[in-house]
Amino acid sequence: MFSLAYGAVRSVRNGLILSLFATATFAAPVTVAALGDSLTAGYGLDQPDGFVPQMQAWLDAHGAEVNLLNAGVSGDTTAGGLSRVGWTLTPDVDGMLVALGGNDYLRGLDPKVSRDNLDKILGKTEAADVPAMLIGLRAGTNYGADYATAFNGMYGDLGAKYDVPVYPDWFEGLRGQNLQSYLQADGVHPNAEGVKLIVAAMGPAVLDFVNALPAD
C-alpha cells in the first residue's frame, strides 16, 4: 500500500512539474512593431547592425520573450508614419514602439503638425487596444528656442495624454561621447557601434515596456 501511494504521489508531482515546465517553455512571445524612420530601419548598416536586430539581441540576452518587427522606413516623417500605422497594426502585433520625428526636425516642419500626427498615431494604437511606447528625439536650437521647446515637449505631453511610456531622446546613449566616432559619414545616422550604445541606453526602458505587455 505504501509503495502504491508513494508511486501515485510521485506520478502526480512529476506531471505537475512537466506541465509547469511546458507552460514556461512554450509560452508564445509577444510581437512588437517598431514604427519609425531611417534610424529604426537601420539606414547605411549591414542588416545585423541595425537598431531592430541589435535591440532584439539585447532583449533576448535579458530574457525577454519578444519578436521585434522592423517597421522603419527611411525618410518617413510623422505624416508618413501616420499613413501606414493602420496596416502596421496587424492582429498579431501586441505592442508598438513609435519612433518618429527626426525627419520633421531635419526639415524644420512645424512642431504643431508633428504633434498632431503623433497624436493621431497614438489614437489609432489606443483604438486598436495595442499598447505603445513613444521614443522621442531632442531638438537643438538651430530653429530657435521656441521651436526646440515645442518639439521636445510634444513627446512628454502626448505620453501623459495617452498614459504611455516615453523615452525622450533616441540619441541618449551617445550624449557625452565623441559623437563623430559613432556616426556614419553623413554625420546623422549612427554606425554599428553607435547603435550598440543607443540600444544599451534604451534597452531597459524597452524591456520594461515589453514585460508589461499582456500575454495572449
Q: What does the pLDDT look like over 13-47, one tens digit per residue?
A: 555 444 444 444 456 899 999 999 999 999 999 99
Catalytic one of 46, 129, 163, 186: 186
Classify domain 29-212 by CATH architecture. 3-Layer(aba) Sandwich (3.40)
Instruction: List beta partners, residue 33.
Output: 69, 96
CB contact at 8 A, 125 and 165: no
Catalytic (active site) residue 38 = yes
Measure the CA–CA gap between 149 and 2, rounded to whole angstroms. Answer: 77
pLDDT of 165 higher than 80:
yes
Catalytic one of 37, 38, 94, 104: 38
Amino acid type, 34: A
DSSP-assigned states of every residue in 64-99: --EEEEEEE-TT--HHHHHHHHHHHS-TT--EEEEE
Catalytic (active site) residue 62 = no
> What's the pLDDT score for residue 27?
65
Amino acid type, 111: P
Q: What is the reported pTM? A: 0.86
Confidence of residue 3 (pLDDT cuts 50, 70, 90): very low
DSSP-assigned states of every residue in 170-202: GGGGGTTS-GGGGB-TTSSSB-HHHHHHHHHHH
